[in-house]
Amino acid sequence: MKNIIIFLAFMILSLNVYSQNSGLNIITQNKKNIEYSIYINDGNNNDLLIESKKADRFNGQFNEGVYKFTGKYGSEKNIRQISKYFYLKKNENFTFKFDFNVSPYKIEFLSKDNVNKVLFQLEEFINSESLKIWNKGVNKKEGKEYFEYFINKLDKITYKYKLPNKIVEFIKVWNYINIKQIKEALSSNKIEISKEQIEDIYNNINILDNDLTLRFYNGTYYIYQSLLGKTLKEKTYMLKEKFHNKKIICEVLDKIFKNYINKYNYKVNFKEGLVELEDACKYADIDGSSYINSFKSKKYTLEGSLLPDIQLENTDGKTMSLKDLSIKGKILYIDCWASWCHPCCAEIPYLLKIEKEFKNENIVFVSISLDKEKNAWIKKMEDLGISKENQYRCLDKGFFEKLGVSGIPHFFIYDKDGKLTFYNAPRPSSANALEVAFKQAGGIK
């Protein structure tokens, strides 16, 4: 008897959990055999639902909420994007028809639901008006009237039906972002919109202080933009004073610090800039090591900077520092590569040719491999016919950070005094450009 009760309780619980799901059905029309892939995005994950080569319809169960169809369709020469917000309500089934027989594609909502009517109407209106503004523009006389029309139309669509509060909150954030975008478009036509022309609700940046903002690729951009014109610490202070959502604060802080690192003038007051960044990270109460290391690395990307202290080993296992490879009176051409990097290996034949051509000049050719496996490095050198002279493997895990390298192959040129002349030097396959760089660095006459 006890087992039966437990079993029944389990079945009831299972039914309750399942009943919270919503049915999603997709039908496609594709007589032209257009290639497509349709994904569903919940704000965190992008999961494949259906693609042209495998099926023409989809049926599945999802939790209640606002989702977004994403994906692409078309040929390799003309790939177009799929993007559409939609809503799945608890305990109901929803059917959407994708028509790829027309271009651009169309999505038809086949279920009766006011939320999706509003979402579809909003997106259709926003897309059409955005194209109109960016492509055709409006004059100053029409601009202010048009802006009022745009806001009124958004409100008219939004409040046409009584919608659940959580949907209204989502739409408010969406509308705020779209109003900002239209305002920017008008500004590009030298049409300025005053705060008085914008409803109070859309003047309040705090409308973005929730997780919903993260559903939009440019949501946190407008928060970041509102902090411009301030010092690094002031921006951080303003952000933490105005906003309370931890995810929002974290993402905007990332924008603040990365922008500071990218735009800082490293040729002037390097130490002061580093102190400012360190202080701001402490004030923000975050582990700022990645930002601080990134800032420090910029020191070695500046023209005139010396070689950093990076540990290397040669093919015999002897260790030395990168900064010790500089030879007085000779320029240094450094190739950063790896055995598993196809573009790197493709440059090797050109590099060997360049080395042979300029062997009697004041140039030292050095190759630094980022291979973790020594045997793989040695084998690839043998396969490519590379001499073991001036071949090194990097032992420093912070190589990319210290030299600010984002990808390989990457080439550097240092002058006869060991100072950086070309941070992004020409590749060996660009022989003419490389010869010019060698001359500018003083390696050849």
The segments of the chain whose pLDDT lies below 50 read 2, 4-19
Q: What is the pTM of this model?
A: 0.69
How far is residue 149's CA from residue 144's CA, in Å, rounded to a whole number? 9
In our burial notation (b when 16+ CB lie closer than 10 A, e otherwise), range 132-145 reads ebeeeebeeeebbe
308-354 per-position pLDDT tens digit: 888 999 999 999 998 888 888 899 999 999 999 999 999 999 999 99
What CA–CA distance (Å, rounded) separates 99 from 84? Answer: 14
SS3 310: coil
CA 295, CA 281: separation in Å to the nearest integer? Answer: 12
Longest distance between any two alpha carbons in the chain, whole Å: 98
- Contact yes or no for 420/300 (Cβ under 8 A): yes
What pLDDT digit, counting tens, does each position of 113-152 carry?
899 999 999 999 998 888 887 777 777 667 778 888 888 9
User: For residue 233, what is the enclosing H or E element?
Assistant: helix 232-242
Pairing mode, strands 363-369 and 391-394: parallel
Contact 220, 248 (CB under 8 A): yes
What pLDDT was estimated at residue 10?
A: 38
Given the DSSP bridges, would you call strands 93-99 and 21-29 parallel, antiparallel or unpaired?
parallel
Contacts 24+ apart (CB under 8 A), 257-266: 257/232, 257/281, 257/288, 257/291, 258/291, 259/224, 260/232, 261/291, 261/294, 261/295, 261/298, 264/295, 264/298, 266/298, 266/299, 266/301, 266/302
What pLDDT is recorded for position 2?
A: 47
Cα distances from 225 to residues 177, 210, 221, 248, in angstroms, run 12, 17, 6, 14
**Confidence (pLDDT) at 184:** 82
Query: Tell me, what's the pLDDT at 201?
Result: 64
| SS3 call for 135 | helix
Point out which residues pair with 332 in neighbouring strands. 364, 414
pLDDT of 195 reads 67
